[in-house]
């Protein structure tokens, strides 16, 4: 079965690409940020807000 290109050339472009260092994160990762917002909005909500919704 023929392949697309030879095996000896595999990874040629990636190895030629210069390595760029990752930028440091400026804040909390989105998944954690969503969790914090949920806790603040739903679990720790004041009693008066909960009674109006339900």
Domain locations along the chain: 26-54
Confidence of residue 26 (pLDDT cuts 50, 70, 90): very high
**27 neighbors 33 (Cβ within 8 angstroms):** yes
The structure tokens listed for 18 are 């210069």
Higher-pLDDT residue of 15 and 6 is 15
> pTM for this one?
0.43
- The per-residue pLDDT for 4 is 72
- Angle ∠(5,10,16) on CA atoms, nearest 5: 125
Spatial distance between the Cα atoms of 32 and 53, rounded to a whole number of angstroms: 26
Q: Which residues, including other chains, have CB under 8 Å from residue 28's CB and lie 6 or more apart?
A: 36
């Amino acid at each position: 079965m023929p392949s697309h290109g030879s095996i000896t050339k595999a990874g040629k472009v990636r190895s030629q690409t210069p390595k760029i260092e990752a930028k440091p994160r400026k804040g909390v990762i989105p998944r954690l940020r969503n969790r914090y917002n949920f806790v603040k909005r739903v679990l720790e909500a004041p009693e008066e807000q909960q009674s109006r919704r339900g």
